[in-house]
């Protein structure tokens, strides 16, 4: 709540500093340049996407599917390869030839990767492997390289050389702020969706498990409570109440809860990817405000 008045006060102070001695921390006049304002906005919005994606992706793989940190990290290799390769290709070949179209291509590749990953996750369920993620992660990384590498040069396109340092600092700050916002926004969407999806997935799983028919209400409550708490590793009281001396029944309950958990994380992860795709659509809209071709190719 305090961020809005603090931001307003900061803007007024920067205007005061500009008028007093011409040495503001942020050169507000830069935002009068349409291409710079649009570029910084695109940088801010874009930075939300990878930060939010990797938060939800890590939670999905490790919390929902039980993958180790090493397994999860190795699955990101295609992304790590795609970013530098596509970025180098974009700056050297694609951006000088196609200008703004290169950025559009990168955003569309990333969107395709997000939607493809959501589609694969929904259909593979808990049987998903690292191989399923190769193409989506490669698309994400390649798209990020094609978009992010030339975006800075395009944003600085109409900035005077004497103001390039201040402008570059604002671009970097926008990227950091966007990453923080991405974690906050996508994180909020992800965690709020867990509890809602847990109930839905429990209703789908439990009717097909006759061994726990008499405890369906308790298992459903356990599943919802497990996903509706700050510490997802804590055991809620509703789960402790499911204790039984029958090993077969206890195993059936455990299997049902594991199935519900993986389905819940998968459904929530897919929803997060759809939100991230919507964010990329907003980035594409901002890219239309950038020039079709860069005027000073050396900037990029």
The CATH superfamily assigned to 35-155+172-192+270-299 is MFS general substrate transporter like domains (1.20.1250.20)
Distance CA 89, CA 106 (A): 12
Structure confidence at residue 135 (pLDDT): 98
Outline where the chain has alpha helix (H): 3-21, 34-58, 69-75, 77-89, 95-98, 100-124, 134-155, 164-205, 216-227, 237-240, 247-287
Mean pLDDT (10-residue bins), the chain, 300 residues: 73 75 77 89 94 96 95 97 95 92 96 98 94 98 94 87 86 93 93 92 87 81 91 88 79 89 96 96 93 63
Angle at 186 between CA 261 and CA 47, to 5 degrees: 140
Structure confidence at residue 87 (pLDDT): 94
Q: Which residue has the tokens 């860069």?
A: 294
> Do residues 171 and 152 touch, judged by C-beta distance below 8 A?
yes
The closest alpha carbon to 135, from 149, 148, 121, 150, belongs to: 121
Structure confidence at residue 297 (pLDDT): 47
183-189-192-193 Cα dihedral, nearest 10 degrees:
-130
pTM: 0.88
**DSSP labels for 277-296?**
HHHHHHHHHHHTTS-SS-S-
Structure confidence at residue 78 (pLDDT): 98
Angle at 252 between CA 247 and CA 253, to 5 degrees: 95
The domain spans of the chain are 35-155+172-192+270-299, 197-261
Q: Which residue has the tokens 């006759």?
A: 210
Distance CA 118, CA 271 (A): 8
Q: What is the DSSP letter of 127?
A: G
Distance CA 41, CA 159 (A): 15
């Amino acid at each position: 709540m305090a961020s809005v008045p603090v931001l307003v006060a900061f803007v007024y102070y920067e205007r005061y500093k500009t008028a007093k001695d011409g040495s503001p921390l942020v050169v507000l006049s830069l935002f009068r340049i349409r291409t710079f304002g649009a570029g910084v906005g695109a940088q801010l919005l874009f930075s939300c996407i990878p930060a939010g994606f990797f938060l939800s992706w890590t939670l999905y793989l490790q919390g929902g599917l039980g993958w180790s940190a090493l397994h999860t990290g190795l699955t990101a290799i295609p992304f790590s390869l795609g970013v530098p390769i596509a970025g180098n290709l974009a700056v050297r070949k694609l951006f000088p030839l196609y200008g703004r179209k290169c950025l559009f291509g990168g955003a569309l590749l990333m969107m395709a990767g997000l939607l493809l990953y959501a589609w694969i996750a929904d259909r593979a369920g808990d049987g998903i492997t690292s191989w399923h993620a190769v193409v989506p992660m490669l698309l994400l990384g390649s798209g990020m390289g094609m978009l992010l590498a030339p975006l800075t040069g395009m944003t600085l396109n109409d900035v005077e050389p004497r103001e390039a340092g201040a402008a570059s600092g604002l671009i970097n700050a926008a990227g950091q702020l966007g990453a923080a916002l991405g974690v906050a926004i996508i994180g909020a969407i992800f965690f709020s969706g867990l509890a809602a999806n847990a109930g839905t997935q429990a209703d789908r799983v439990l009717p097909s498990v006759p061994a726990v028919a008499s405890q369906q209400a308790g298992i459903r409550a356990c599943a919802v409570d497990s996903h509706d708490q700050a510490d997802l590793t804590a055991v809620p009281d509703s789960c402790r109440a499911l204790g039984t001396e029958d090993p077969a029944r206890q195993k059936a309950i455990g299997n049902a809860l594991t199935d519900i958990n993986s389905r819940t994380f998968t459904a929530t992860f897919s929803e997060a990817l759809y939100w991230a795709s919507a964010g990329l659509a907003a980035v594409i809209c901002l890219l239309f405000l950038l020039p079709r071709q860069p005027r000073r190719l050396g900037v990029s």
